[in-house]
Amino acid sequence: MKKTATRLADGRELVYYDLRDDTVRDATDRRPLERTLTTSEIRRDPLLGDAVAVASHRQGRTYHPPADECPLCPSRGERLSEIPDSSYDVVVFENRFPSLAGDSGRCEVVCFTADHTASFADLSEEQARLVLDAWTDRTSELSPLPSVEQVFCFENRGQEIGVTLGHPHGQIYAYPFTTPRTALMLRSLAAHKEATGGENLFDAVLERELAGERVVLASEHWVAFVPYAAHWPYEVHLYPRRRVPDLLALDEAARAEFPAVYLELLRRFDRIFGPDEPPTPYIAAWHQAPFGGRTAESYGVERDDFALHLELFTIRRTSGKLKFLAGSESGMNVFINDVPPERAAERLREVATS
């Protein structure tokens, strides 16, 4: 992997990740951009104790542009985009309309490929590995920043999810706090450790799932399963067999095997509802331990007790129907799942692509 960092016309950072070491990236951003003015502010809810990012400037972000005006395609001729070069393998840049900025963290866009019509599932294993390397590198670069406590790499795919740009891409949020979902995991981890005299909850969950009927696929270094209490109609958790707290700690064997496993999962997701259905909308979310030992220790665990894993889920519950977060989910945070996890796992095994 070759990494080349540059700056866009308004001062935002952009980084190319290339497969070839001899690739030259010297194109400049020719757009007459002024520096982006952001208004991101973190507010704490005094009753729930969680955080809300107020970012009114995002009302003006690009919204479903035609394909020939996509800001994530390469710049060609006089058609200028967020990427100054006329081609790229993988590119990461600071979001022009960030939810988090300055002392409130940072937001980045990850473009998986220059091909506007592709999806992550269409990538080669070599290209998917490059994306993994980019996620890992960005985690390494962002985690030491004084305003960052947790790094979250994720992909939203499909208009049903709320995606406003059709180009295959994901995002990275660098939060200035430990997110509520991660805090819940840390509390559960600590409670289980105390109740069992030191057993790791993530290890126990993985061991139970490996012995059960919800495993979707298992390889030498990775295991994918539908969790016992899945929140979403089709939800898969992907764990490395060797517990590590973050992407930085994955060994080379797990990195090398990840592309084939992940691409297989994504391709199965697109086959859940049959060949005549449009591509399955999904969210793919990497869960990493917060950075800074005090964060984990404040919950009564060590940072290495946390287990890196990816959660992949769709809001489509059956052909032509979506799972909406209505009264119970939105009002009380109690999910009601229409698809039994055992049946979801069975279906994901049935649609194997290899």
Question: How is 161-197 classified by DSSP, letter by letter?
Answer: GT-S--SSEEEEEEESS--HHHHHHHHHHHHHHHHHT
Contact 235, 227 (CB under 8 A): yes
Locate 345 and state its tokens.
């796992």
| Residue 309 among the catalytic residues | no
Report CA-CA distances (Å) from 55 to 36, 49, 61, 240, 258: 13, 19, 11, 35, 35
> Long-range pairs for 187-191 at CB < 8 Å and ≥24 separation?
187/299, 189/299, 189/301, 189/305, 189/306, 190/299, 190/300, 190/301
CA 93 to CA 53: how far, in whole Å?
A: 20
- Point out the catalytic residue in the list 167, 169, 287, 309: 169
Specify whether the backbone of 162 is left (phi greater than 0), alpha (psi in -120 to 50) or beta: left
Q: Pick from 94, 85, 88: which is nearest to 29 by CA?
A: 85
Scored b (16 or more CB within 10 A) or e, 58-77 reads beeeeeeeeeeebbbbbbee
- By residue count, the chain amounts to 354
Catalytic positions, written as ranges: 169
